[in-house]
Amino acid sequence: MHLLDPSARKCCYEVQEDFVRTLKNKGISEKFFSRSSDRITFSLQELAVEKLKRYGIEEIYDISFCTICSERFFSYRNGDFEERILTMAWLED
Ligand SMILES: [Zn+2]
């Protein structure tokens, strides 16, 4: 099983065109970006799920918390420069 922890999500993860171009040059599909007239947002979770499934991981649990718009978490992008979230991960045999 893989857990997608709280992180910046598509609702708030605003990026610029140069970020899109850089990722597309690395083979990342346009489908992970949402465009409106005034902003571009990125879904890191959808990209992670696709990559995990590519490696054969089917059991994925997405905790679905956005660190930017949820008041439960710290977010550097939301101006929280003193606090951090620590994520630990490991593989078990
Ligand atoms: Zn959000």
Question: How many A from CA of 93 to the centre of ligand 1?
Answer: 35
Question: How many A from CA of 83 to the centre of ligand 1?
Answer: 18
Instruction: Give me the percent of the chain exceeding a pLDDT of 90.
Output: 56
Q: What is the DSSP string of 24-51?
A: HHTT--GGGEEE-SS-EEE-HHHHHHHH
- The DSSP secondary-structure symbol of 55 reads T
Q: Which residue has the higher pLDDT, 81 or 59?
A: 59
Question: How many A from CA of 57 to the centre of ligand 1?
Answer: 26
- Average pLDDT over the chain reads 89
CA 28 to mean position of chain CA atoms: 13
Q: Tens of pLDDT along 10-31? A: 999 999 999 999 999 999 999 9
Instruction: Give pLDDT, residue 89.
Output: 72
Question: How many A from CA of 12 to the centre of ligand 1?
Answer: 4
Place of tokens 């893989």: 2
Q: Which residue has the higher pLDDT, 22 or 84?
A: 22
